A and B are shown apart, each in its own frame.
Chain A
Amino acid sequence: DAGITQSPRHKVTETGTPVTLRCHQTENHRYMYWYRQDPGHGLRLIHYSYGVKDTDKGEVSDGYSVSRSKTEDFLLTLESATSSQTSVYFCAISYGGASYEQYFGPGTRLTVT
């Protein structure tokens, strides 16, 4: 158990509304990631963080923003949700340094109607 929780676990929202997903870790890892998982596409990186207030874009960052004001929390925000953002979102953490191993949270299923 890598000590990662995600909230909410399920959410249904309407097009155009803002949505924030939270990832919380209890093990003080430096690196945190947000992925989305869609059929036919596998796992795709949205944004990642390499420290408090240090973030960078991933492969599919358009329409998403992130914030990390504390080591333990990494927030993913959809400023104005669209139906194409219906997906399962996973948070992951890693120790960094020489280790590239990532450990995943349980996921958030988001439906945008």
Chain B
Amino acid sequence: GQQLNQSPQSMFIQEGEDVSMNCTSSSIFNTWLWYKQDPGEGPVLLIALYKAGELTSNGRLTAQFGITRKDSFLNISASIPSDVGIYFCAGQLYGGSQGNLIFGKGTKLSVKP
């Protein structure tokens, strides 16, 4: 099936650092969604993007819908300890069925030891 390549798979953060992650595909998407999941809980929607080139912020989080419609980026500025968790991208394929999102495998954010 269709795949989203999400990178990096994991990263360590120090409080105050900026963080970047991205999702890429060979297919075109209508929508990009970014979720965060804490241990033992369901994913929580952070940001939704609907237009190519769109840049949307939610507090310290900023996400962009790539111009080619095949990628998306999530940036976290001035990270804090509660940013730790797993971040997932999800996309709705152009021409795909309603609700058939494709999920990346996640980027795990941990605190630097």
User: B42 and A100: CB pair below 8 A?
Assistant: no
Inter-chain CB contacts under 8 Å: number: 57
Chain A interface secondary structure, helix, strand, loop or mixed?
Answer: strand
Q: How far is the CA of A102 from the CA of B92 in the complex (A)?
A: 11
Interface size class of B (residues with CB under 8 A): 20 to 34
A64 close to chain B: CB less than 8 A: no
A42 near B99: Cβ-Cβ < 8 Å: no
Let me know if B99 and A31 touch, CB within 8 A: yes
Partner of A43, one of B48, B88, B97: B88
Q: What band does the interface of chain A fall in when counting residues whose beta carbon is under 8 Å from B? A: 20 to 34
Nearest Cβ on chain B to A87's Cβ, whole angstroms: 14
What residues of chain A have their CB less than 8 Å away from a CB belonging to chain B? 31, 33, 40-45, 48, 50, 56, 58-59, 90, 92, 94, 96, 100-107
Q: Known contacts A43-B43, A59-B1; can you find 16 more A-B pairs with CB under 8 A?
A: A31-B99, A43-B88, A50-B98, A58-B100, A90-B42, A96-B98, A100-B31, A100-B33, A100-B48, A100-B98, A101-B33, A103-B45, A104-B35, A104-B43, A105-B42, A106-B41
